[in-house]
């Protein structure tokens, strides 16, 4: 587990994060070591999906410099064949999570989608120093669903230490999201 205390300055470690120069505001707001740990699959950019999503959002922003990030999020949803209107408060309800698990879509519709959404939102923070207001609720819902005990159990099995670490990371991400 990475240190979850505040005060970590990523720029004292490196001037690039996955070949991206982080925005100073991102370094200021996300002042936790775990946030910048691309080797820990429990962190926003430590999984393959999170890492790739950061690089994809960088490319998307470069190709669409004046386009709202909600357009990128809508593109992500369409890639998953998910209607953005269905990504609402109901996704965090146990019955809906259990239905997805029973349909064997857990890895795709819960894990991968949420990880991509979280990495996309925080990727915008790293690149632009902000997260657009109109995507914050979507990122918030993705974090909340990942914090659900059923999701943690299905993702991390019996490893209570990893579940605890993941929950702590997600709790801090909510705080960073609020500040962004």
pLDDT at 29: 97
Number of residues that this document lists for the chain = 180
pLDDT at 109: 77
In percent, the amount of the chain with pLDDT more than 70 equals 98
Which string of b and e fits 113-142 if b means at least 16 CB within 10 Å?
A: bbbbbbbbbbbbbbbbbebbeebeebbbbb
CA gap 130, 105 in Å, rounded: 32
Check if the beta carbon of residue 61 is closer than 8 Å to that of residue 23. Answer: no
Domain boundaries, the chain: 10-179
Residue 132 confidence class, pLDDT cut points 50, 70, 90: very high
CA gap 73, 14 in Å, rounded: 29
pLDDT tens-place string over residues 57-112: 999 999 999 999 999 999 999 998 899 999 999 999 999 999 888 887 777 778 89
Q: For all residues of the chain together, what is the average pLDDT?
A: 93
Q: What is this structure's pTM?
A: 0.95
Cβ atoms within 10 Å of 6's Cβ, excluding its own: 11
Q: For residue 154, with 0-12 CB atoms within 10 Å meaning exposed, 13-18 middle and 19 or more buried, which class applies? A: middle
The continuous run of DSSP H or E covering 155 comes out as: helix 149-156
Residue labelled with tokens 């996300």: 30
Q: What are phi and psi of 16, to 5 degrees?
A: -130, 145
pLDDT average, residue stretch 23-42: 96
């Amino acid at each position: 587990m990475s240190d979850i205390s505040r005060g970590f300055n990523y720029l004292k470690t490196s001037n690039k994060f996955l070949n991206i120069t982080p925005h100073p505001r991102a370094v200021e707001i996300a002042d936790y070591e775990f946030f910048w740990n691309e080797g820990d699959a429990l962190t926003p950019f430590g999984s393959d999906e999170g890492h790739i999503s950061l690089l994809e959002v960088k490319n998307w922003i470069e190709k669409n410099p004046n386009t709202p990030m909600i357009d990128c999020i809508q593109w992500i949803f369409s890639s998953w064949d998910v209607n953005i209107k269905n990504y609402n408060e109901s996704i965090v309800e146990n019955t809906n999570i259990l239905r997805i698990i029973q349909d064997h879509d857990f890895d795709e519709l819960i894990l991968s989608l949420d990880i991509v959404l979280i990495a996309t939102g925080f990727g915008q923070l790293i690149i632009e120093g902000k997260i657009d207001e109109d995507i914050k609720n979507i990122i918030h819902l993705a974090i909340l669903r990942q914090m659900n005990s059923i999701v943690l159990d299905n993702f991390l099995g019996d490893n209570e230490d990893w579940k605890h670490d993941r929950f702590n990371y997600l709790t801090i991400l909510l705080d960073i999201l609020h500040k962004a």
